[in-house]
Amino acid sequence: MRHKITSRTVSLLAELVELGESIESHLAVASPAARDEWQNQRLRWPSEIEMRQGSVALSDEELEVMRAKVKRFNDILNSDFRMTSPEFGGSAAPAARVGA
C-alpha cells in the first residue's frame, strides 16, 4: 500500500535524516551487529524517488515507530561514544552494547 506524503511525513523524514547523520558519525564505536542492524533499518527508509513520486510505502504511524527506534539507537550509540571518547573522559576501547 502507498501512503500520500503529508507535512507530517516530511517532518518525520527530516528527523530521521538528522538522527541518521548523528548515528553515522558514531558508528565506529558500534559493534558489527549494531552496524548491520543500522544498515537494515536504513534500507527501510523511503527513497528520494518515492518522495518525488509523492507517496511512500510507510504510513506516518509506521514512520513514527521507526523514528522512535532510530532515536533509541542514536541515544545508545551516543552514550557509548561518550563512554569511549577520551575527550569525554572515557577510555579508547569501543563499547559494543548497541546491537550486541
In 3D, which of 8, 4, 42, 10 has the Cα closest to residue 23?
42
Q: What is the pLDDT of residue 29?
A: 79
Instruction: Tell me: pLDDT of 67 over 60.
Output: yes
| Residue 62 belongs to a domain | yes
| Residue 32 belongs to a domain | yes
Q: Which domain holds residue 45?
A: 3-88
How many domains are there within the chain? Answer: 1
Whether this prediction's pTM lies above 0.85 is answered by no
| Residue 95 belongs to a domain | no
Residue 31 amino acid letter:
S
| Residue 98 belongs to a domain | no
Q: What rounded mean pLDDT belongs to the chain?
A: 85
| Residue 61 belongs to a domain | yes
| Residue 94 belongs to a domain | no
Query: What percentage of the chain carries pLDDT values higher than 90?
Result: 69
> For 68-86, what is the mean pLDDT?
79
The residue with greater pLDDT, 100 or 66, is: 66
pLDDT tens per residue across span 10-56: 999 999 999 999 999 988 878 899 999 999 999 999 999 999 999 99
